[in-house]
Chain A
Amino acid sequence: MHPYTNQGSQDTRSGFGAGLLELGRCNPKVVALCADLTGSLKMDAFAKEFPERFFQTGIAEAHMMSMAAGLTIGGWIPFTGTFANFSTGRVYDQIRQSIAYSDKNVKICASHAGLTLGEDGATHQILEDIGLMKMLPGMTVIVTADYNQTKAATIALADHHGPVYLRFGRPKVANFTPADKPFVIGKADVLLEGSDVTIAATGHLVWEALEAANTLAAQGISAEVINFATIKPFDTEALLKSVHKTGRVVTAEEHQRHGGLGDLVAQTLGMHRPAPIEMVAVNDSFGESGTPAQLMDKYGLNAAAIVEATLRVRNR
């Protein structure tokens, strides 16, 4: 059985809000921008305590992204906040030209990513953002698993020079990362060692992978669970080291199969060490309204789906 306990379910966006507030107190260069979603992004505490360093742009995400690029020119470290859909697809050209190509030190912080946004439906449930952002040269892409990891990652961003996309979400999920564990950009975490299969997971699916490992252990299957919180730069070494041991991989993410973690793992394996792979991801479709749990079940993004994928990859 995996050794992690849920310290009390919390939303990852609240981890971002807490991290941003702490940054505000310890780093006077940190500024924040929000496009009319201050409460949803949990940025209100920062806005209240540091009103002079908080920029409310109104519902104008394109302007917000380019404005953040302009703020860096004066030496500030801007953190933008809006939903993941409006942080990527809506503003892709602004990010590409004003931020990524211009090498600006902007931290794009994106909440309500994926199906777990729930009832608002597919217009807001972006499942393509990891792919969009990881294709941009020089962009660092981080997808955090729980409250504590999101808080630690937020804090780590301020000391990293360069554009970053930080993806988190709305629902309350298990909080299992130790509160004092620092976030290291580019380093995957082996959460559970195993010998039969590597489960490479990111975001909300990391806890599901740990739960799946318990189920598998009861069936005599030893799963190694790795949290790939940094999608880019990808920790190739961590993946290959694990696959040398297990020989097969299941990936798990709340994202399209095309363009996500699964793609990246498949590419890495193909280039370095071919191995059977199964992907737990959304299969080329949009989401819909429903509760987060209903949606994750319907679209096959939970512990049960990871167990099934593991059994499939074991037979290949």
Chain B
Amino acid sequence: MVPITEYPSQIRRDILRMVHKPQSGHPGGSMGCTEFFTALYFDVMRHNPAAFRMDGHGEDLFFLSNGHISPVFYSTLARSGYFPVAELSTFRLINSRLQGHPTTHDGLPGVRIASGSLGQGLSVAVGAAQAKKLHGDPHLVFTLHGDGELQEGQIWEAALYAGGKKVDNLIATVDANGQQIDGSTDEVLPMGDLGAKFAAFGWDVLHLEQGNDLHAVQAALRQAITRTGKGKPVALIMKTAMGHGVDFMAGTHKWHGIAPNDDELARALAQCPETLGDY
């Protein structure tokens, strides 16, 4: 059994190397959400990587709504056993199952919906959550959203529905890193009080200030699970630093969607020790 603390550094190495090879991809948000993915897939979520089934009966489901952070998603799926780790080397290359944004189109195990065009994942998750209720399946549905993504109107259609119809087997996490492509969210479009917004839509809202502290994320997700089944969907507003784990990449929107060059990759990898073996 690999100690859970071994994963974040290795996943960050995967992310950096995945985007370096094609010189394309989104490392910043991926590195900011590494602890979240680690906590979810290696601790909190009850799932079955060895026998992926699209319908996901009898297991928890996860939907990535901000599909551009596919590097962290793919690394986590591979390290969980959904597909061979070696396949990470094909990210964004021709004929790969690891498309720039996640898709079901090429049969990659672990992916249940295409995402990339923002704002759709919460609605998809609501549908999956309602499907579980209809089946009498007590398992949960998790989602992840960028804070900038919440500027999409469809998010609030889904939030209104989930609150109004008491979809209480759903935990939506917001990666509140305060950054988006054109700058900080405050510069682009101030988001105001996200927690108050979800609460006003009928959600049970939890806050996590230390979204890059693995044990804090594990505790926050466990707490979120205890709040399900009580008539409200659960929102976790999780503060992270975009690019966390590499000093020159952290806390800036600059690394939202660009890849490190050879020198930057070497300097970044030096800060993320190899723990589980590179692909």
- Contact, CB under 8 Å: A70 / B160: no
- Residue A67, interface by CB 8 Å: yes
- Residue B239, interface by CB 8 Å: no
- Contact, CB under 8 Å: A66 / B127: yes
In the complex where A63-B154, A74-B134 touch, is A69 in contact with B117 (Cβ < 8 A)? no
- Residue B126, interface by CB 8 Å: yes
Interface residues as binary, A59-102 with B (CB distance below 8 Å gives 1, 0 otherwise): 01011111111111111101000000000000001101110011
In terms of DSSP, what is the predominant structure of the interface of chain A? helix
Interface residues as binary, B116-147 with A (CB distance below 8 Å gives 1, 0 otherwise): 11011101111111111011010000000000
How many A-B contacts at CB < 8 Å in the complex?
A: 119
With the chains together, A304 CA to B157 CA distance in Å? 46
In the complex where A73-B113, A76-B134 touch, is A103 in contact with B127 (Cβ < 8 A)? no
Interface residue stretch chosen among A49-57, A126-134, A171-179, A209-217: A49-57
With the chains together, A58 CA to B57 CA distance in Å? 28
Closest Cβ of chain B to A154, distance in Å, is 21
Closest Cβ of chain A to B58, distance in Å, is 11
User: Number of residues in A with C-beta < 8 Å to the partner?
Assistant: 32
Contact of B113 among A53, A57, A102 (CB under 8 A): A102
Chain B's interface size range is 35 or more
Interface centre among B120, B123, B127, B129 (most CB of A within 10 A): B127
- Residue B158, interface by CB 8 Å: yes
- Residue A31, interface by CB 8 Å: yes
Closest Cβ of chain A to B171, distance in Å, is 15
**Contact residues in B for A74 (Cβ distance below 8 Å):** 55-57, 128, 131-132, 134-135, 137
With the chains together, A94 CA to B137 CA distance in Å? 27
In the complex where A66-B120, A66-B123 touch, is A73 in contact with B112 (Cβ < 8 A)? yes
- Residue B230, interface by CB 8 Å: no
**Contact residues in A for B125 (Cβ distance below 8 Å):** 70
**Contact residues in A for B134 (Cβ distance below 8 Å):** 31, 52-53, 74, 76
Contact of B123 among A58, A70, A72 (CB under 8 A): A70
Contact surface of A with B, Cβ cutoff 8 Å: 31, 52-53, 55, 57-58, 60, 62-76, 78, 93-94, 96-98, 101-104
- Apart from A66-B123, A74-B55, A103-B105: 8 A-B pairs, beta carbons within 8 A: A63-B161, A70-B123, A70-B131, A71-B131, A73-B131, A75-B135, A97-B115, A104-B113
